[in-house]
């Protein structure tokens, strides 16, 4: 990262709650698609001071949509690994719908 700050990361419990919500809860999926930060806050994520906010990094951009619950579940192990590690200013491709 250009500014020298580490990117956000989430603990394993938060990642599990996130992926459970994205695969099993339509209301949570809708919230995440429009307000990733609010969805993360609703499952107990609080950013560490000095880190970038995960909600900003994970927010889908205009024209993007969330991958299906089935697709996210199929890629769950890969997503769990990437979300507990430091990630950068882009939503993991496995969370986005392919066109």
Q: Return the higher-pLDDT residue of 65 and 83.
A: 65
Question: What integer pLDDT is reported at residue 22 of this predicted model?
Answer: 97
Nearest to 66 by CA among 38, 37, 93: 93
Domain boundaries, the chain: 12-89
Mean pLDDT of all residues belonging to the chain: 81
DSSP conformational letter for 25: -
In angstroms, the CA 97 to CA 12 distance is 24
**Nearest 10 degrees: CA dihedral of 49, 51, 53, 57?**
180
In angstroms, the CA 96 to CA 17 distance is 18
Could you count the other beta carbons within 10 Å of the beta carbon of residue 99? 6
Confidence check: pLDDT of 1 > 50:
no
Confidence check: pLDDT of 4 > 90:
no
Question: What integer pLDDT is reported at residue 72 of this predicted model?
Answer: 96
| pLDDT tens readout for residues 22-54 | 999 999 999 999 999 899 999 998 876 656 577
Q: Return the higher-pLDDT residue of 45 and 9.
A: 45
Mean pLDDT of 57-84: 90
Confidence check: pLDDT of 18 > 60:
yes
Mean pLDDT of 68-85: 90
């Amino acid at each position: 990262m250009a500014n020298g700050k580490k990117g956000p990361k989430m603990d394993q419990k938060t990642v599990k709650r996130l992926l459970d919500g994205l695969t099993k809860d339509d209301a949570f999926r809708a919230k995440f698609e429009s307000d990733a930060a609010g969805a993360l806050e609703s499952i107990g994520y609080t950013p560490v001071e000095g880190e970038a906010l995960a909600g900003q990094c994970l927010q889908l951009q205009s024209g993007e949509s969330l991958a299906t619950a089935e697709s996210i579940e199929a890629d769950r192990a890969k997503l769990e690994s990437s979300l507990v590690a430091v990630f950068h200013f882009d939503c993991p491709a496995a969370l986005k719908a392919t066109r």
